[in-house]
Amino acid sequence: MQQTPVETIWMDKLRGLSMEMKYMKDFPYKKEVFALYEKLSDDEKQSAVGKEISVYLYPPVTVKTGDEMADADLYDLEGNVHHLADYKGKYLLIDFWSRGCGPCMMALPEMKEISETMKDKVTVISLSTDTEKGWKEISKTKDMSWVNLNDFGGMSGLAAKYDVRGIPHYVIISPKGIILHSWSGYSNGLLKRKLNKWVNKANRVMSVKKDGNTTIIEFPIEKSSNTETVEINKIELTGTETVFHMKAFNAPGYWVSISKDTYLKSENGTHFTLKSADGITPDERFTMPESGEQAFKLYFPPLPAGTKTVDFIESDCDSCFKILGLPLTKE
C-alpha cells in the first residue's frame, strides 16, 4: 500500500486495518498502519473515511456510565444548532442510528410511542450517523416526530465519544446530564423496559420496618451496580434466613441465569452462600416471558445481628452480577 496510489479501495483497506488495530489484541502491524495514515493528504484525512480512520488510530476520550454526558454542535433538518444540554431536566434517550440499519428502523415505532407516552419525563433524541444527504432523504420517509439531529461526523463524531461500535446504540442520560446506561442492539419493547426501570428507580423510596421478628427493607438503594438485568426490590432478614426478592429484565425470548455460586458478603468480608431459589433455577437458563420481566426469590443463611450493609455477588467472574453496598438500616 505504500507503493500504490490512494484511492477509494485503498482508503477502505486502511480503515479495516485501523479498526483491527484498535480492537485486536497484539496487532502486529501498528507501525506500518500509522505510516500509511501519514501518507494521506490533509484533505484525505478530513474526509469521512479519513476521520473514521483517525478515530481508530487516535481514540478520543470516551464517556461511560457515571460520567457527565459528552456534547457537540448538533443540527436539525432546518440547519439550526442544538446541544444535548438544551434538553436537560428530563431523562434523555439517545439513539445513534443509520438509514441502512434494519434494527434502527424497527425501533422507530417504539421511539415514537415513548416520545408521546413519556413526554413529561423523557426526551427522545435520534442522532444520525448518515451523511447530510442520506439523513435528510430517509427523514422525509419516516414519521420522526421527536428530536432528530446530526453532527455530520458519522461514527467519528459524537458517536466516537460514546464509544459506539455498532448501531443501533442507545444511551440513557439523567435529568442532570449524567450517563446512566449505554448499550447496543434492539428488540421489541426493550427501550420501554429500560426506561421504565430508570424512571421508576428515581421514585423508589427505601424503607426499613419490623414485622415481628422479621426486618423488611423495601427498595434498598445500592452504592453501585454493574447490571441492568436484575434489581433487588426487597430484603427480608430473619433469625433463620435472608431472603432477596428480585426481578429480572430482558427481551422476550432471551434468557437470564443466576449462578449457584452466588453469595452475599457482609462489611467484614464474611460470605453467605446461596441456599435455594424460587422462580428461577440456579445455573439454568430462564427464558423471559412476553412481559420481559420475571420476579424470583433467592434464599441465603441469616446475617449476623447488627449487619449494616451487604454486597450481592453472583460468583466472582468479571461479567457476573455485582450489586454492592446494599443498606440494611436507615442509618
Locate CATH 3.40.30.10 in the chain: 74-201
Report the alpha-carbon distance of residue 266 to residue 325 in Å, rounded. Answer: 9
Average pLDDT over residues 57-80: 92
Locate CATH 2.60.40 in the chain: 207-327
What is the CATH superfamily name and number for domain 74-201?
Glutaredoxin (3.40.30.10)
Q: What's the sign of the alpha-carbon dihedral 129, 132, 138, 144?
A: positive
Q: What is the mean pLDDT of the chain?
A: 91
Is the pLDDT score of 134 beyond 90?
Answer: yes
Is residue 315 within 8 Å of 261, Cβ to Cβ? yes
The CATH architecture assigned to 207-327 reads Sandwich (2.60)
Is the pLDDT score of 303 beyond 80?
Answer: yes
Residue with cell 430473619: 238
**Helices 190-202, 102-117: crossing angle, 10 deg rounding:** 40
Look at the pTM and tell me if it is higher than 0.75.
no
Report the alpha-carbon distance of residue 95 to residue 146 in Å, rounded. Answer: 11
Predicted confidence (pLDDT) per residue in 141-200, tens digit: 999 999 999 999 888 899 999 999 889 999 999 999 999 888 898 888 888 888 887 887
pLDDT for 275 equals 97
pLDDT for 204 equals 75
Average pLDDT over residues 105-134: 95
Secondary structure (DSSP) of 46-76: TSHHHHHHHHHHSPPP---TTSBPP---EE-
- Cβ atoms within 10 Å of 39's Cβ, excluding its own: 13
Model confidence at 226, pLDDT cuts 50, 70, 90, reads confident
Q: Interior CA angle at 295 toward 293 and 297, to 5°?
A: 155
